[in-house]
Amino acid sequence: MSGGKTIRNRDLLEDFQDHLRLERSLSENTISSYLRDIDKLRIFIGSTSLLTVQPQEIYDFLKALDTAGLSKRSTARIISGLKTFYKFLISEELLTKNPLEMIETPKLPKHLPEVLDHQEVMAMISSIDLSSRPGERDKTILTLLYACGLRVSELISLKINDIFLDEGFVKVMGKGSKERLVPIGEKAMVQVGNCLLWRNETVPIIQKDAEGLLILNLRGGPLSRVSVFKLIKSCAQKASINKEVSPHTLRHSFATVLIEAGADLRAVQQMLGHESITTTEIYTHLDRSYLKSIIQEFHPRA
């Protein structure tokens, strides 16, 4: 701290927020999660500056979280966020040492995401009433999530100009504003065509902030993430699927289908937009789990 000037915790958090938004291009949801977790520590230490926090205070904070019954996964997330925050302060030359340097993140059991088989996905798509006003749009939502492995944020921000039906590709703006090309199959292309017709015939007035978007709400505005979540939950219920299903489940199912069919892991990584192939490797574990279940169910000597 130059000139002995005291920097308020609020200013530190605002600078960190700008860093996450402008330099790391993180989503607003991710940024909010970071700030909420750091704010827990700020409240715990009271009037103490975040710049003067000692390792023992961090230990006491984590012990308090454990006493309050916080899960290991949530604790691991908080530790990771705090480490990122203090690394930022060091990079800004406000600190020379990270108070979390000696604190280890709890080891978490490997969590394999819930997936749907092809028949279950088709049952969900078939549950959509195409005679209803949003029918073709809703079918397009499920089709693109499953056929292209899109994140829900990528789906609702997908622009018509980024869909190249002649070439069979969709240009997707992923995390960190990174673009990638994802192949789109013939059935999905037909459904996108149906959605464009629906858009032109059913939503004649399009709001300014939704111009160029493929997926719209019935008022001609951008469709919200919450609306997509509700749609997926509703379709799963109608299809009598007794699993925890979300838009991300269809993305997981897209990847699992490819891996089970023998697709190259690097190709799947590219299509999903994973920065690290380690993230994609979870689907090879899913595949092994599936094979193991087949052996146990059908092999007479298993």
Cα separation, 213 vs 167, in Å, equals 20
* Kind plus residue range of the DSSP H or E element containing 163: strand 163-164
Judge whether 198 and 215 are in contact, CB under 8 Å. no
- Backbone phi, psi, residue 117, to 5°: -80, 175
Residue position matching structure tokens 């915790």 = 9
Q: Is 151 a catalytic residue?
A: yes
Residue pair 88/206 in contact by the 8 Å Cβ criterion: no
Q: Which of 283, 290, 292, 301 is catalytic?
A: 283
Burial class (CB in 10 A: 0-12, 13-18, 19+), 46: exposed
* Residue 175 among the catalytic residues: yes
Question: Which of 113-140 are b and which e, b meaning 16 or more Cβ less than 10 Å from the residue's Cβ?
Answer: bebbeeebbebbbebbeeeeebebbbbb
From the candidates 86, 137, 139, 151, which is the catalytic residue? 151
Write down the catalytic residue from 83, 175, 180, 233.
Answer: 175
Contact by Cβ (8 Å): 238, 145: no
Residue 283 is a catalytic residue: yes
- Strand order in 163-164's β-sheet? 163-164, 169-173, 179-183
- Beta bridge partner(s), residue 128: none
**Annotated catalytic, 118?**
no
User: In the structure, how many helices (H) and strands (E) does the chain have?
Assistant: 13, 3
Enumerate the H helices of 19-68 as residue ranges.
Answer: 28-45, 55-67
| 248, 266, 285, 288: the active-site residue | 248
**Catalytic annotation on 292?**
no
Which residues are the active-site residues?
151, 175, 248, 251, 274, 283
